[in-house]
Amino acid sequence: MIAMWNDMIQANVVTILFLLILIVNIWRGMKRGGTGSMQHLFFTIIDVALTVLSIFVAYQISQAFSPIVLDWLKKLDLQVPVKELAWWENIYYTAVISLRDLALLRFAALFLLLYLVIRSVAGGLVGALFYLWSNDEGRARSLSNADGSQSSAARFGSGLLGALLGGITGAVRILLLVVLLFGFVTLNPGSPVSRHIQQSNAYQLAAGQAVEPFAGDWVTANLPVFTAEVKNQLTALMQQRYDVIDIQLPKDIEKAALEVTKDAATQEEKARKLYDWVGSRVSYDWNKANQYIEQRIWKEQTPQDTFETKKGVCIDYARLYALMARAVGLEVRVVTGLGYDGKGGYGPHAWNTVLVEDKGWISLDATWASTGDWFNSPNFESTHIPDQQAASGT
């Protein structure tokens, strides 16, 4: 108690929040009385139990059905039509292809859908039972005490019991909050917010006595890995989006790509000629970049816009290059991540990888072509960090 008081004096937000939750629940318990607080505590515990049970059941079913859904999606043999897609078509094709190709996203979608259904059904059944029970109890109460009067001593005793039960309800809610905070601290161990959380003596006591003995090792070992994988697959989803929205091949871009590579004898020569052309024809749009950096205003543009204006930022270079590469039969990807800024740090960047015979996937950065040769450069990996690699910390 002395330690918690010291936390209060030092204005530790976590301890103050815990105390407020406890006070509010005690006060509401006193208002409800013993019977009402008992009911509320009972259904709070039921609600937590239903949530945990729903998560467990949804997890098990999702694991079993994810491979079945994958087989079904593969049988669809979905092909993105080569035409200008409406906004809803972009969303549809991106979603279906991503569910097919990204295992974790498919599992997460199944899990969320199943959890919502199971939790809603379970909650509805419990709610119906509570309604029937409360009506029966109300009728019994009205028969046993027609005037509804209570002595002062009975009201006082009921209030004390309600306060005690309200305190227990508050403790349950605080414990749930501690679990969430424990997960946040595990994922962000060095952040200022995590340090402030860990300075709370109340948090340390609850986490050390209730969370760590039961789930601490599992959480610290698995949660960061799971979160990193989520980031990886979300990144893959965003990059796959460009494969869908840039599926249409304008005739002028196709004609230019064929003209640029007409003398190329190999896939690598085609990739190189396109790198030289995009890198030398497109100028970096500093106004667009500065507008985003200073005002957070993003001007979206298509590869056609980049081709016509000959201006763009890194993602525009990469999308135009990808479209021209596909026009000449190359397999290519748009990669997002971090690029070295020349000042000892890294900033958001985009580039391409292309598949060529004998060498496999090689990386190139048409945006940086004016600063040197960044076509399969030997120091490419030291200056470019893909989002997947950045998320995993390697």
Is 55 buried (19+), middle (13-18) or exposed (0-12) by CB count in 10 A?
middle
pLDDT more than 70, % of the chain = 77
Averaged over 197-212, what is the pLDDT?
78
Question: Do residue 258 and residue 306 come from a single domain?
Answer: yes
Give a yes or no: residue 242 inside a domain: no
Give a yes or no: residue 96 inside a domain: yes
Confidence of residue 388 (pLDDT cuts 50, 70, 90): low
CB of 328 closer than 8 Å to CB of 271: no
Domain containing residue 352: CATH number: 3.10.620.30
Q: Give tens-digit pLDDT for 205-220.
A: 877 776 666 554 555 5
Question: Do residue 156 and residue 302 come from a single domain?
Answer: no
Question: Do residue 50 and residue 103 come from a single domain?
Answer: yes
Give a yes or no: residue 243 inside a domain: no
The pTM is what? Answer: 0.51
195: Cβ–Cβ under 8 A, 6 or more apart, which residues? none
Give a yes or no: residue 241 inside a domain: no
HEC string of the chain equals CHHHHHHHHCCCHHHHHHHHHHHHHHHHHHHHHHHHHHHHHHHHHHHHHHHHHHHHHHHHHHHHHHHHHHHHHHHHCCCCCCCCCCHHHHHHHHHHHHHHHCHHHHHHHHHHHHHHHHHHHHHHHHHHHHHHHHHHHHHHHHHHCCCCCCCHHHHHHHHHHHHHHHHHHHHHHHHHHHHHHHHHHHHCCCCHHHHHHHCCHHHHHHHHHHHHHHHHHHHHHHHHHHHHHHHHHHHHHHHHHHHHHCCCCCHHHHHHHHHHCCCCCCHHHHHHHHHHHHHHHCEECHHHHHHHHHHCCCCCCCHHHHHHHCEECHHHHHHHHHHHHHHCCCEEEEEEEEEECCCCCEEEEEEEEEEECCCEEEEECHHHHHHCCCECCCCHHHHEEEHHHHHHCC
CB of 96 closer than 8 Å to CB of 76: yes
Question: Do residue 17 and residue 115 come from a single domain?
Answer: yes
Question: Do residue 228 and residue 254 come from a single domain?
Answer: no
Give a yes or no: residue 239 inside a domain: no
Confidence of residue 187 (pLDDT cuts 50, 70, 90): low
Question: Do residue 229 and residue 317 come from a single domain?
Answer: no
Give a yes or no: residue 244 inside a domain: no
Q: Which of 203, 234, 265 is the last residue of a domain?
A: 234
Q: Which of 234, 262, 289 is the last residue of a domain?
A: 234
Give a yes or no: residue 90 inside a domain: yes
Least confident of 121-135, 253-267, 302-316: 121-135
189: Cβ–Cβ under 8 A, 6 or more apart, which residues? none
Question: Do residue 161 and residue 224 come from a single domain?
Answer: yes
Question: Do residue 229 and residue 253 come from a single domain?
Answer: no
Confidence of residue 148 (pLDDT cuts 50, 70, 90): very low
The parent domain of residue 116 ranges over: 2-234
Question: Do residue 126 and residue 15 come from a single domain?
Answer: yes
Q: Give tens-digit pLDDT for 263-291.
A: 999 999 999 999 999 999 999 999 999 99
Question: Do residue 264 and residue 149 come from a single domain?
Answer: no
Question: Do residue 194 and residue 96 come from a single domain?
Answer: yes
Question: Do residue 71 and residue 194 come from a single domain?
Answer: yes
- Would you state the pLDDT for residue 214? 59
- Bridge partners, residue 311, by sequence: 283
φ and ψ of 325, to 5 deg: -65, -40
Domain count for the chain, please give it.
2
Q: Which of 234, 258, 286 is the last residue of a domain?
A: 234
Helix 267-281 to helix 251-260 angle (10° resolution) is 120
CA gap 158, 29 in Å, rounded: 9
Q: Give tens-digit pLDDT for 34-63.
A: 777 777 777 778 887 888 888 889 989 988
Q: Is the pLDDT of residue 390 over 50?
A: no
* 64-70 contacts at long range (C-beta below 8 A, 24 or more positions apart): 65/110, 66/103, 66/106, 66/107, 66/110, 69/99, 69/106, 69/110, 70/100, 70/103, 70/106
